[in-house]
Amino acid sequence: MLLPRNSILAAIGRRALVFSLMVLLAACSNPDIEPPMGESIPADPLFVLLDAYKGKEQYFLHYRRGENIYYASGHLPMEAISGPAADDRNYDIPVIASMDRGELDSWEELTANLTPIPVLDVQDWASLREQLFEELVPTEENKGVAISFDRVDYFLFYDKAGNFRARRLIDMPPWYSVARRVDLRQYFEGWQPVLQDFLQAAGIESEDVIFSTGDLDRGSVPFLYINTRSKLIVLVQYDDLSEKTLGGVPGMHVLQSFWHVFQSHTYTILMRPFSSIQSLLAVVSDTAVETGRSLIPGLNFDGPVPPLADHPAMDLVSWEAYLDKALGRPASRGELKFLVDGEAFFTRFVDMLASARESIDIRAYIFDNDDVALNVGELLKRRSREGVQVRVLFDGLGSIGASAAQSISLPDEHRQPLSIENYLKNASSVQVRKSKNPWLTGDHVKTMIIDRDLAYIGGMNIGREYRYDWHDIMVEIRGPVLDKINREFDIAWGRAGMFGDFSYLFNWREHSLNRDLDGYPVRLLYTKPGQDEIYQLQREAILRSQSYIFIENAYFTDDVLLRALIVARRRGVDVRVIIPLETDRGIITRNIILAANVMLENGIRVYIYPGFSHAKAAIFDGWASMGSANLDRLSLHINREINIATSDPSAVQALKEALFEPDFARSRELTEPFPLRWTDHIIEMFGDYVF
C-alpha cells in the first residue's frame, strides 16, 4: 500500500531523529578524548617576560600575556637572597614558587630600589634545554619521562610536531605513557658546566638569571629562575585552579564527625542490618577475648636465648595445601610488582589513571583534601568527563579524621575544600560513596583498580603523607586474581549505596574477565567481621617457620603474635622486625617501645626505621603476605582489610630486594632497651582494647 507523501516524510523524520539520538548517546558514552590543549605550540608564547626584579625574599615580574600586561610577585627561598656561595656543590632539586598576580600603580616606583634580574627569552631557554635534555626525554612516539620538582610531578615529552612540552603529570595526555622516572640529581653534575658556558656565551655576568620558558599548559612553569651563587633553581609556577582556593571552617571536622557517626547508627543500620550485626558481634566478642588474654601471664623463659638453628625452611608445598583446606578455596593466579615509596607508586598510579580506557575504581581508607589528593581528584574528574567510569569509595571517619590533620610538608598557600566528596562530584561524572562506621568499625582496605585488569593493593591512601612524607609499599597486580579484587570492590561499593546489604543480591557473582591470563599462585586474605584470616594464617606461619621471619609493620601491638615470635626465636628461627618510633597515632608509640624491649630481651633482632614506615609486609620461610593490615587489634579482628600472599620464589625474592634488604640497611638495630615510664604499662593495658 502506498503511503501519502506527508506520512513518508514523517516516518523518515522519526527514523532520522531516532538515529540522531542513538549517535548522540553513543558519542556521550564514549567521547573522543581531546588533549587539554593542542599537540602543537603556538608561535607566540602565552607568557613573555618583560622585566624582573629581586627584593628581600621576593621577586617581581612584569610580563605580557597575549595583548595584556600583567604584574606578579612571589617569595623566593632565603638561599637565593642571602645564601653563601656554593661552589663546592651541585644544584639541588628545583623548588616551586607560586605566582601571585596583581595590579600596580607604578612599576617604576616599586622597582627603583630593587635588583634587576637579567631576562632570557624562550629561544634562549630552548637552546639551553636542548643541551640539557638531549638524552633525558625520549623521542619515540607517545612516550615521556616523569620528574619530581619539589611538590609537583611533571611529565616531559615531545609532541607529534617535535616540540618539547612540560605538563603536570596529572595532565599527561591519555595516549602518552611514562617511559621511566628520572632523578634529576644524577644529571646536575654534568649540567653545571653546560649552564656556566651558556650564561657566559650569553653575556650574563649577574649571579641571577630568569628564563621565559614558553610553557602554556595548566599548572605551567612559564618562568625559571637560577641563582648561580647559591646553586638554586626556582620554578615560578602559574596555576589558575580556583577550586583549590576554598577555605576550611573552624570546627567543621567535629561537626562532620558527629553527623557521620549519627548516620552510621541510624538509617544506615536499617539498610545494613546483617553487616552491622556482624560488626557489633566482632567488637563485643573480641573485647571479651582480649579481656581473657589479659589474665594470661606472659611467657617467661629461663636461661639465655639459644643460638640460631640451621633448620631447613618449612615445606611450602604442604603449607599451600594447608591454606587450601583452612581457607576452603584454592589459590588464584597473578603477577606482582612491588612499588616502594610515594614517588614510585604515585608516578605509576597517575600514569595508569591517565591512560585508563574504561573504568577506574578506588577504594581507600582515606581520600584526603590536601594538594596531592586534590591533584589526583582533578585527574579523576577530567577522566570522568572524557567518558571513563570513575568510582571512589572511602571510609567516612578515616577521611574526616585525616582532613582535620595536616602534613608537615603541606604548602602554606594550600586551601582545602570543605568536602572532598563534593569536590570530586563538582563539574564531573565521578561517583563517590562513603563507607559508614557502625560501632566505630572501619573499612581500612586500599585497592585501586584500572580497567578491571590491573590493581594496586597495599598501605597507601590518597594524600600527601603517602606521596612525600612516609615510607610505604604498594603492589601492582595483574592476572586472574583481579576477578576476585573486582568482586570485592563491587560488594563494598554496593554495601555503601542506598541498597546496603541487600545490594549483595546483585554483586555476589564473580565475573571471569581475567581468567585466561597467566601468573603464579597468589591468594587474597581478609579481615572482616567474624573472619580474621590475616591474623590466623600469619600466626600459623610463625608457628611453622623454621628458618627465618622478616616483618615490617607500622603498628605492632598484638600480644599473641608477639608471643608466637618469641617462641619461634627460642627454637632457633632468625626473627627480624622493622618498626618505626615515629607514628601518626602518638600514644601508640609507647606500646611499640614495650614490644621492642620484649623482643630484644628474647633475642629478636629489632630495627628502628628512621622516620615513619607505614609499610605492612612479612615473609615467613618463603611465604610472603602484604597489604593493608597492621599487626594490631583493629586490623586483625575488627576492621575490613585485604592482604595478598604468595610463596612464589621470584615474588618473595623481589619483595626482599625492594623492601627488606634496603630497610635493614638504613635502619638502626636496637642493642639496648628503651627506658620506660611508669605510665607505659597502663597505656599498654588500655591500648590492647583501643589500638
Domain boundaries, the chain: 48-242, 256-293+333-518, 524-690
DSSP letter, residue 673:
P
pLDDT class for 502, splitting at 50, 70, 90?
A: confident
| Contact between 635 and 534 (Cβ < 8 Å) | yes
Which residues partner with 456 through β-bridges?
Answer: 448, 476
The half-sphere exposure of 134 on its side-chain side, counting CA atoms within 13 A, is 8
pLDDT of residue 250: 53
Q: Among 436, 438, 437, 435, which residue's Cα sits nearest to residue 446?
A: 435
Q: What is the pLDDT of residue 244?
A: 43
Tell me if domain 256-293+333-518 and domain 524-690 are identical in fold.
yes
Among 115-129, 209-223, 273-287, 464-478, name the most confident range.
464-478
Angle at 231 between CA 226 and CA 237, to 5 degrees: 40
Instruction: Round to whole Å and give the CA distance between 258 and 279.
Output: 20
Per-residue confidence (pLDDT) for residue 282, from 0 to 100 = 84
3-class SS of residue 374: helix
Distance CA 476, CA 651 (A): 12
Model pLDDT for residues 571-601, shown as the tens digit of each residue: 999 999 999 987 766 667 777 888 899 999 9
**Of the ranges 100-109, 140-149, 238-247, which one carries the lowest mean pLDDT score?**
238-247
Residue 21 pLDDT greater than 50, yes or no: no
CA–CA distance from 674 to each of 564, 577, 581 (Å)? Answer: 22, 16, 11
Q: Which residues contact 364 (CB under 8 A, 6 or more apart)?
A: 392, 393, 394, 395, 445, 446, 448, 461, 462
Q: Could you report the per-residue pLDDT of 351-399, keeping only the tens digit for each?
A: 999 999 999 999 999 999 998 999 999 999 999 999 999 999 999 888 8
Lowest-pLDDT choice from 395-404, 422-431, 609-618? 395-404
Instruction: Note the pTM of the prediction, 2 decimals.
Output: 0.83
Query: Residue range 125-130: average pLDDT?
Result: 90
| pLDDT tens per residue, range 184-241 | 888 888 888 899 999 999 999 888 999 988 776 666 788 999 988 888 888 888 765 4
HEC string of 164-232?
EEEEEHHHCCCCCEEEEEECCHHHHHHHHHHHHHHHHHCCCCCCEEEEECCCCCCCCCCEEEEECCCCE
Residue type, 474: M
In 3D, which of 278, 273, 459, 504 has the Cα closest to residue 364? 459
d(CA 119, CA 384): 41
- Which residue, 567, 360, 350, is CA-closest to 466? 350
Q: Per-residue pLDDT for 663 more than 80?
A: yes
Other C-beta atoms lying within 10 Å of the C-beta of residue 532: 21
Q: What are phi and psi of 256, to 5 degrees?
A: -60, -40
Can you name the CATH fold of 256-293+333-518?
A: Endonuclease; Chain A (3.30.870)
Three-state DSSP at 56 gives coil
Which class would CATH give 524-690? alpha beta
